[in-house]
Amino acid sequence: MRQMSITGMLKTMIPISRFNKGEANKIFDEVETTGTKIVVKNNKPACVLISQAQYESLMEMLSDFILREEAEERLEHYDASENRTQEQMMQEFGITQSELDAEDVELESR
């Protein structure tokens, strides 16, 4: 995401009174074309309006970050000596190759 200058941030601020004047549709159009808007109530930021595309992008970035943190945490505690082969797992659970071959498995693609 790009950094915003102070001037740029000031241009994104809109008073809540614009909503009271019936300008909601115009404000939503501005969000779609120019990006983020910060709604100000009593001279304090009250909420931030962003486009659906920006929201989805932020949620995807957050999800990626969380998954990366989880992967790094797992790697910190990874012990290769605990790995088992397929043959070892099959033996542990009492499964034979012929039983696996007999199973009809459907894989879904994304």
pLDDT digits (tens, 9 = 90+) for 5-63: 777 777 789 999 998 899 999 999 999 888 889 999 998 999 999 999 999 999 999 99
| pLDDT score, position 3 | 65
Q: What is the mean pLDDT of residues 75-88?
A: 90
The reported pTM is 0.58
Distance CA 66, CA 63 (A): 5
Give every strand in the sheet of 13-15, ordered side by side.
13-15, 37-41, 44-49
Q: What is the mean pLDDT of residues 82-106?
A: 91
| pLDDT score, position 96 | 93
Distance CA 7, CA 28 (A): 21
| pLDDT score, position 82 | 87
| CB-CB contact of 27 with 19 (8 Å) | yes
For the domain made up of 6-52, give the CATH fold: YefM-like fold (3.40.1620)
| CB-CB contact of 12 with 27 (8 Å) | no
Q: What is the mean pLDDT of residues 79-99?
A: 91
* Domain ranges, ordered by start, for the chain: 6-52
| pLDDT score, position 4 | 63
